[in-house]
Amino acid sequence: MRYQLIGSLLVAVMLVLGTVGVVSATLNLSAVCAVDDEGHSSGGGDDD
């Protein structure tokens, strides 16, 4: 039972990490976090 529980929780952790990765990559999150207060990215990304 213990191993089944640990396995179930590991699956949940992997699902969470996968989701964070996919959504972050889709949003280009590193560029979003690097914006200044005028809305400009400080590096890279696809801003104009």
Partner 1 sequence: MDQRVARYVPRVAQHGRGAADIAVITAIKLVLTSVLLVSETYQVALMLVGYGKVRPPLLGAEAASRAHRAIGDTAVPITVVVAVLCLSGYEIGDAIEHAGTRVAVHVVAASLLLVALVLKIIAVRVGGRTSRLLPVLGSTLFVLFALTFASTVPFFLGGNQ
Instruction: Assess 25 for contact with partner 1 (CB under 8 A).
Output: no
C-beta of 44: minimal distance to partner 1 in Å?
A: 11
Q: What share of the chain is helix, strand, coil (3-state, %, to 5)?
A: 65, 5, 30
User: What CA–CA distance (Å, rounded) separates 47 from 27?
Assistant: 12
Residue the block writes with tokens 């989701």: 19
Instruction: Assess 29 for contact with partner 1 (CB under 8 A).
Output: yes
Which residues in this chain contact partner 1 in the complex, by CB under 8 A? Answer: 1, 4-5, 7-9, 11-12, 15-16, 18-20, 22-24, 26-29, 31-33, 35-41, 45-47
